[in-house]
Amino acid sequence: MAGAAAATAGEAGLLRARRDIVLPAVVFLVFALLPAFAMLTARHYLVDTGTRIMVFAVSAVALDLLVGYAGLISFGQAAFIGLGAYTVGILSAEGIGDALVSLPVAIAISMLFAFVTGVVCVRTKGVYFIMITLAFGQMVYFIATSLAPYGGDNGLTVGARSTIAGWQVLKNDTAFYYFTLLCMLATYLLCRVLIVSRFGRVLRGASENPTRMATIGFTVRRFQLVAYVIAGGIGGLSGFLLANSAEFVAPAYMAWQQSGELIVMVILGGVGTLDGAIIGSAVYLLAEEWLSGMTENWQVIFGPLLVLVVLFARGGLIGLCAWAWRRFGHA
């Protein structure tokens, strides 16, 4: 009996390890080949769609680091996206359009805001953490609406995409697509390395039993704050990409509804699975595009579908795929 149980556990571990390698590889391969498919089929809009998916997937992966591994459900992730986007827009308006300047500044400002607010946020937990991150996010939103010199409620048009050392390579849609793909890959690998490191093990331990982790000598709040700051910096990267993709920034980027959509993406793909955050982003945005073409009130259709996923697909779409593999993979 013990041998059979060990064999079953070993098989489950092997399947999980295989999934952790194969599925992300397939996901990134699909994104890498998408521009070629778009060119062959004359569906050039797929490049723009893929870029938009990856922009939000970058932030969704960061949010999954908080929600799925640190146990911190943040409703303020959109604030970091907005800060990164407005950094690009304001610097562009002031004549500074090089990514070697705007990208580090966007990330630094988002991380600084995450640190200042995170010191307060990590002192709370549960619904209080949700509400305080929501409050800080809305604070940034209303500050953006009051920036009359930079468009206020109407937003701000970015004159041109950022250059790289004066080179206008990102002006080409395909080049910008692959630049965004590189950023998404870097974000995924960074978060994956963090998760398997000692830092990640402490985060997961603190999420499950913070008292025990504190008892054995770890300062839980310090680790949670670092995770929050990292997620903020990645959100700033997403904002940089969003501003360059749309060539426009608006306060709506940092509204609480945007944070809610990011949480939906994470839940849809599977909480605690970084590749699930990418898949959830793709499914959500593709469903939005498809359903909005059918009706203006597309959320009425999407809402029940999300409820069904939560109720019957434990672990989101990733969990559903894992169940299907166990059920039919050896048939």
In this structure, what is the dihedral angle of CA atoms 238, 33, 273, 19, given to the nearest 10 degrees?
-160
Q: Please state, rounded to an integer, the average pLDDT across all residues of the chain.
A: 87
- Token digits for 32? 């890498």
Burial profile 149-174: b = 16 or more Cβ within 10 angstroms, e = fewer:
ebbeeebbebeebbbeeeeeebeeee
**pLDDT for the residue numbered 5:** 45
Query: In sequence order, what DSSP letters do the residues of 88-126 get, joined into one string?
Result: HHHHHHTT--BHHHHHHHHHHHHHHHHHHHHHHHTT--T
274-280 average pLDDT score: 91
Which candidate, 130, 105, 106, places its Cα nearest to that of 256?
Answer: 130
**pLDDT tens digits, 108-157:** 999 999 999 999 999 998 899 999 999 999 999 999 999 888 888 888 99
Residue 329 has pLDDT above 80, yes or no: no
How far apart are alpha carbons 287 and 89 in whole angstroms?
29
- Any idea where the domains of the chain sit in the sequence? 23-260, 281-331
The Cα-based distances of 304 to 90, 110, 299, 308 in angstroms read 40, 34, 9, 6
- Chain-centre distance for alpha carbon 210: 25
Residue 172 has pLDDT above 70, yes or no: yes
**pLDDT for the residue numbered 50:** 95
**pLDDT for the residue numbered 2:** 47
**pLDDT for the residue numbered 6:** 46
Which tops the pLDDT comparison, 330 or 258? 258
How far apart are alpha carbons 17 and 306 in whole angstroms?
28
pTM (2 decimals)?
Answer: 0.90
Reduce the DSSP state of residue 191 to 3 states and report it. helix
**pLDDT for the residue numbered 81:** 96
Residue 11 has pLDDT above 60, yes or no: no
**pLDDT for the residue numbered 13:** 52
% of the chain with per-residue pLDDT over 70 = 91
The helix or strand, by DSSP H or E, that contains position 44, with its residue range, turns out to be: none
The helix or strand, by DSSP H or E, that contains position 249, with its residue range, turns out to be: strand 248-249
297-311 average pLDDT score: 81
**pLDDT tens digits, 63-118:** 999 998 999 999 999 999 999 999 999 999 998 989 999 999 999 999 999 999 99
51-56 average pLDDT score: 96
The Cα-based distances of 153 to 144, 149, 150, 182 in angstroms read 8, 11, 9, 32
% of the chain with per-residue pLDDT over 90 = 57
The residue type at 259: S
Task: Bin 126: left if φ > 0, else alpha if -120 < ψ < 50, else beta.
Answer: left
